[in-house]
Structure 1
Amino acid sequence: MTGLAEHIADRDRWARGPRGPLALVNAQQVEVEQPVWPVPGRWAPAPGGLTVTAELGDGVVVDSVPVDGTVLVAGDHAVVPSVVSFSDGLAGTVTDRTLRVWDPSSEAIARFAGIARFDHDATWVTSGRYEPVRDGLEARGSVLDAAGVPLPVAGHVTTTVGDVAVRLVAVRSAAFRGSARLQLIVQDATSALPEDDPSSTYSMGRFLYLDDPGGPAEVVLDWNRAVLPPCAFSYLFACPVPPAENRIPAAIAAGERHPVDASGAVLH
């Protein structure tokens, strides 16, 4: 696990990066041939992604080849997803039938000053007991991702938050730097506070990632590393829904609070 200072720096870089949440300026589902703002070309659904039809002067480049006609833009689920770039510095990626347009010079990036966080507090480094789903079965349906797709439930973490005993649902997360991880999608009492309250956090909740021990084990819960979901940075992202078990009545005064501008105002 990285040190806290490195973790904080990584998060700020991610937020303002060319594929970070602040760079996303459009996410448009393409069901019929149509234009997509703010990029050139006409886009249409196709097996494996989208097609784009453009002239050479439009400046559309797919997989390093300028487009002059109609070409396939392979989606994120392809063995080799396509890379799309445009003459004005914008870029595109395809997920299912949605074209996402990224602007590394977006207004949101220009406004962003950092992620407001609670001060580090060692008392928020606690422990819990992780128990995988019995027999290795992956229960589905109780936790949904941002697209409404059921997530695989890995197990449960039993711990105490404040004075409240909880049994939190843990879902499987993508590997991070080669290590398997678990993810807790949580809301707590700070999520219900007004944004201008210095104890508030993003209303839809936060994430906490844990190293996956691979079996029943004691796990460290460092709530100073609770992070905001992408939807805290842009309305173009949907928020995953915390399961009922992960809606904690106690206040977790640790981790990230809100993305803010130079005045300290919440970005959105």
Structure 2
Amino acid sequence: MSAFTEAWHRWHEEKDAALADPHGFLAVTALHWLTDRPQRLPGAPGTWSTGPDGPVVVLDPDDDLVLDGVRLTGRHAFGPIPERGGVTAVSGDTHVEVARRGGHDIVRPRHPDHPLRVQFHGTPAYAPDPRWVLAGRYRAFNAPRPTTVGAAVEGLEHVYDAPGEISFTLDGREHTLTAFEGRAPGSLQVLFTDATAGVTTYGAVRSLAVAPPDADGAVVLDLNRATNLPCAYTDLATCPLPPAENRLPVAVEAGERIPYERQPARV
């Protein structure tokens, strides 16, 4: 096995391992949208609502909910949660994610016994091929551009600041993609679809992490590492969709394919 292929397999195994962590995204059992009306939520102790103080839970004396090592009692206000932020409380074997997505406060219980996680056996993908490692050029905007995109949840929108765009050539044609900030400092993230969407790859969105550009703006696009977002596996995700300009007209036969969980059942 070549070093290139070995590195790809190691990366893919680590990615799937994180996804299938006992309290990873495959362990999410429900997606609850909080309102100002107190409500009991399956999978999470207490009565939940939201308002000016952010998410609030009112716990009964026998409810068990621990946050940052401290057992919560009575009424607890989590405080306003920033967009795409969140905290995690613990109730027995359940992790209770309290977060904000698309301007809404949500609660997502995560339990390691959830069938989606227990039955997970990896993500199918195209075989890695060096031909899909492309040179690109990053161009920073004069100022980050607020960019509104859709979401996997109908009616929900996300707003991201796009710091710039990436241009590259594929099959003799130049393409330009809007880039968002990545997780690591200086890195970038590209959300896209291509002509394989809904055929061999997940139809709504794929994601590609891009290392920080060099001093001249050069970047490397390793499309072998195009990944599915959580919405490819479960409807309990609020993943962003690509901006219109990131819908490529060419087939990118590289990276992760439609998860087994979304493929038609065999008869």
TM-score in terms of structure 2 length = 0.83
- Which residue of 2 is the match for residue 247 of structure 1? 247
| Structure 1 residues 3 and 57: alpha-carbon distance in aligned structure 2, compared to 1, 3 A threshold | same
Describe the superposition over 1:116-157 as per-residue Cα deviations: whole angstroms up to 9, x where unpaired: 010011111111111111x3x011235456651321112111
Residue 168 of structure 2: aligned partner: 159
Whether the aligned pair in 2 keeps the contact of 1:52 and 1:72 (CA below 8 Å) is yes
Separation of aligned partners in 1, 2:135 and 2:202: 24
Comparing 148-157 and 49-58, the one that deviates more: 49-58
Corresponding residue for residue 44 of structure 1: 49
Q: Give the 3-state SS of the residue equivalent to 2:258 in structure 1.
A: strand
Map of 1:12-161 to 2, 5 A cutoff? 12-31=16-35, 32-74=37-79, 77=82, 82-87=87-92, 89-96=93-100, 97-133=105-141, 135=142, 137-141=143-147, 143=149, 147-161=156-170
- The residue that corresponds to 1:11 in the other structure is 15
Unpaired segments ≥5 residues, structure 1: 194-199
- Count of residue correspondences: 251
Q: CA RMSD in A?
A: 2.6
Mark the CA change 1:139 to 1:77 in structure 2 (over 3 Å): closer, same or farther: closer
Q: Could you say if the C-alpha distance between residues 211 and 46 of structure 1 is closer, same or farther in structure 2, counting changes exceeding 3 Å?
A: same
Alignment correspondent of 1:234:
234
The letter of the residue matching 2:41 is V
Does structure 2 retain, via aligned residues, the 8 Å contact 1:56–1:67?
no
Counterpart of 2:203?
A: 203
Q: CA deviation at 1:214?
A: 6.5
Q: Judge conservation of contact 2:52–2:80 (CA < 8 Å) in 1.
A: no
Q: Residue 59 and residue 142 in structure 1: after superposition, are their counterparts in 2 closer, same or farther (change >3 A)?
A: closer
What's the counterpart of residue 3 of structure 2? none
Q: Distance in 2 between matches of 1:208 and 1:126?
A: 12
- 2 CA distance for matches of 1:83 and 1:239? 19
Q: Which whole-Å CA distance do the structure 2 matches of 1:112 and 1:266 have between them?
A: 16
Contact kept, 8 Å, 1:171 with 1:184, in 2: the verdict is: yes
Cα distance, 1:222–1:131 mapped onto 2, change above 3 Å: same
Q: Which amino acid aligns with 2:241?
A: V
1-structure distance, mates of 2:90, 2:257: 33
For residue 56 of structure 1, report the CA deviation from its aligned partner: 3.4
Amino acid at match of 1:166: H
The secondary structure found in structure 2 opposite 1:7 is helix
Describe the SS at the equivalent of 2:163: strand
Partners in 2 of 1:93 and 1:67 — Cα distance? 15
Deviates more, 1:48-57 or 1:114-123: 48-57
Alignment partners' CA distance in 2, 1:66 and 1:15: 28
Using the TM superposition, name which of 32-41 and 154-163 deviates more: 154-163
Which position in structure 2 is the counterpart of 1:260?
260
Alpha-carbon spacing, 1:142–1:98, altered in 2? closer, same or farther (3 Å): closer
> CA 1:266–1:75 in structure 2 vs 1: closer, same or farther (change >3 Å)?
farther
Q: Aligned partners of 1:132 and 1:234: how far apart in 2?
A: 34
Q: CA deviation at 1:164?
A: 3.2
Residue type of the partner of 1:21?
A: F
- With normalisation by structure 1, the TM-score equals 0.83
Identity %: 28
1:208-252 residue CA offsets vs partner (Å, 9 max, x unmatched): 111122764221111011011111111011332212221111111
Q: Which runs of 5+ in 2 are unaligned?
A: 1-5
**Change in CA separation of 1:216 and 1:69 when aligned onto 2, cut-off 3 Å:** same
